[in-house]
Structure 1
Amino acid sequence: MGPTYPARVTEEPLSGGHNAHEVVRIGGTVHRRGDGNTFAVRVLRHLEAVGYPYAPRHLGVDEQGRDMLTYIPGVTTDHPGQRAVGAYALGGRMLRDLHDATAGHALAAGRDCVLHGDPGPFNTIFRAGLPVAFIDWDSCRPGDRLDDLGYLAWTWCVQSQGNVPIDDQARHLRELRDGYGDVGADTLIRAILRRQTELAEVEAANAADPRHGAERRRHAEWAVQWATGDRELFQRHEDVFLAALG
Structure 2
Amino acid sequence: MTEEPLTGGNRTEEPLTGGNRAQEVVRVGETVRRSRDAGSAFAAQVLKYLESVAYPYAPRHHGLDERGRDVLSYIPGVTTDHPTQRAPGAYALGGRMLRALHDATAGHPLAAGRECVMHGDPGPFNTIFQAGLPVAFIDWSSCRPGDRLDDLGYLAWTWCVQAQGHVPIADQARHLRELRDGYGDVEPEPLLEAMTRRQDEMADAESANATDPGLPATRRRHAAAAVAWATADRDLIHRHRALLLSALR
Please give the TM-score of this superposition, normalised by the length of structure 2.
0.95
In the other structure, the counterpart of 2:5 is none
Query: Where does structure 1 lack aligned partners over 5 or more consecutive residues?
Result: 1-5
Q: How does 1:213-232 map to 2 (within 5 A)?
A: 213-232=216-235
AA aligned to 2:245 is L
Secondary structure of 1:209 counterpart: coil
Say yes or no: does 1:126 pair with 2:129: yes
Say yes or no: does 1:241 pair with 2:241: no
Aligned equivalent of 1:73, options 76, 84, 87: 76
Aligned 8 A contact 1:153 1:192 in 2: yes
Q: For residues 134-160 of structure 1, what are the alpha-carbon distances to aligned partners after superposition, in whole Å with 9 as ceiling and x for unaligned?
A: 000000000111110000000000000
AA aligned to 2:92 is A
Q: For residues 73-103 of structure 1, what are the alpha-carbon distances to aligned partners after superposition, in whole Å with 9 as ceiling and x for unaligned?
A: 0000000000000000000000000000000
Q: How does 1:52-71 map to 2 (within 5 A)?
A: 52-71=55-74
AA aligned to 2:185 is D
AA aligned to 1:16 is G
Larger Rg: 1
Please give the TM-score of this superposition, normalised by the length of structure 1.
0.96
In the other structure, the counterpart of 2:173 is 170
Which whole-Å CA distance do the structure 2 matches of 1:127 and 1:205 have between them?
A: 37
Measure how far apart 1:213 and its partner are. Answer: 1.3
Say yes or no: does 1:202 pair with 2:205: yes
Which whole-Å CA distance do the structure 1 matches of 2:37 and 2:56 have between them?
A: 24
Q: Sequence identity of aligned pairs in percent?
A: 71
Secondary structure of 1:21 counterpart: coil
Secondary structure of 1:119 counterpart: coil
Secondary structure of 1:55 counterpart: coil
In the other structure, the counterpart of 2:163 is 160
Measure how far apart 1:7 and its partner are. Answer: 7.2
Which whole-Å CA distance do the structure 2 matches of 1:17 and 1:74 have between them?
A: 15
AA aligned to 2:23 is H
Which whole-Å CA distance do the structure 2 matches of 1:7 and 1:224 have between them?
A: 44
**Moved >6 Å (runs of 4+):** none
In the other structure, the counterpart of 1:98 is 101
Which whole-Å CA distance do the structure 1 matches of 2:202 and 2:66 have between them?
A: 36
Say yes or no: does 1:17 pair with 2:35: no
Which sits farther off after the overlay, 204-213 or 109-118? 204-213
Q: CA RMSD in A?
A: 1.1
- Count residues with an aligned counterpart: 241
